[in-house]
């Protein structure tokens, strides 16, 4: 099983990034599409999408998952759940050591 960081890195490799951002050195090019579909198809564009499941504006550019893309919505939701579990206080609580007084 991958770590949460590994999952986020795999998703990031498949995001459609603007060519001008690659040329400007702001990011690296998206991994070349192979024979398989990305787990989460994330689109990018200059304007706010009209039919998105989730969208975010970063540096004046919009990134989104299409509302009609059920496989991406499921994968995105699972990723969010894993992120919440990893960030929960119980996930980082140190072990409790009990020393009898006596």
- Residue 101 domain flag: no
Q: Which residues contact 30 (CB under 8 A, 6 or more apart)?
A: 13, 14, 15, 16, 17
- Residue 74 domain flag: yes
- Residue 100 domain flag: no
- Residue 20 domain flag: yes
- Residue 96 domain flag: no
Q: State the maximum Cα–Cα separation within the chain, in Å, rounded to a whole number.
A: 69
Which parts of the chain register pLDDT below 70? 1-2, 31, 33-35, 90-94, 102
Q: What pLDDT does 73 receive? A: 93
DSSP 8-state symbol, 43: E
Q: What is the β-pairing status of strands 52-58 and 61-66?
A: antiparallel
Q: What pLDDT does 102 receive? A: 67
Q: Please count the structural domains in the chain.
A: 1
- Residue 38 domain flag: yes
Domain that holds residue 49: 4-87
User: How distant, in Å, are the alpha carbons of 6, 74, 92 from that of 39?
Assistant: 13, 9, 28
- Residue 53 domain flag: yes
Contact call for residues 44 and 16 (beta carbons, < 8 A): yes
């Amino acid at each position: 099983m991958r770590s949460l960081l590994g999952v986020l890195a795999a998703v990031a490799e498949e995001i459609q990034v603007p060519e001008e951002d690659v040329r400007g050195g702001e990011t690296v090019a998206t991994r070349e599409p192979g024979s398989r579909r990305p787990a989460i198809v994330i689109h990018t564009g200059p304007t706010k999408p009209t039919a998105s499941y989730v969208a975010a504006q970063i540096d004046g550019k919009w990134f989104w998952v299409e509302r009609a893309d059920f496989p991406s919505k499921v994968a995105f939701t699972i990723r969010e759940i894993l992120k919440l579990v990893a960030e929960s206080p119980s996930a980082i609580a140190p072990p409790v050591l009990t020393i009898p007084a006596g």
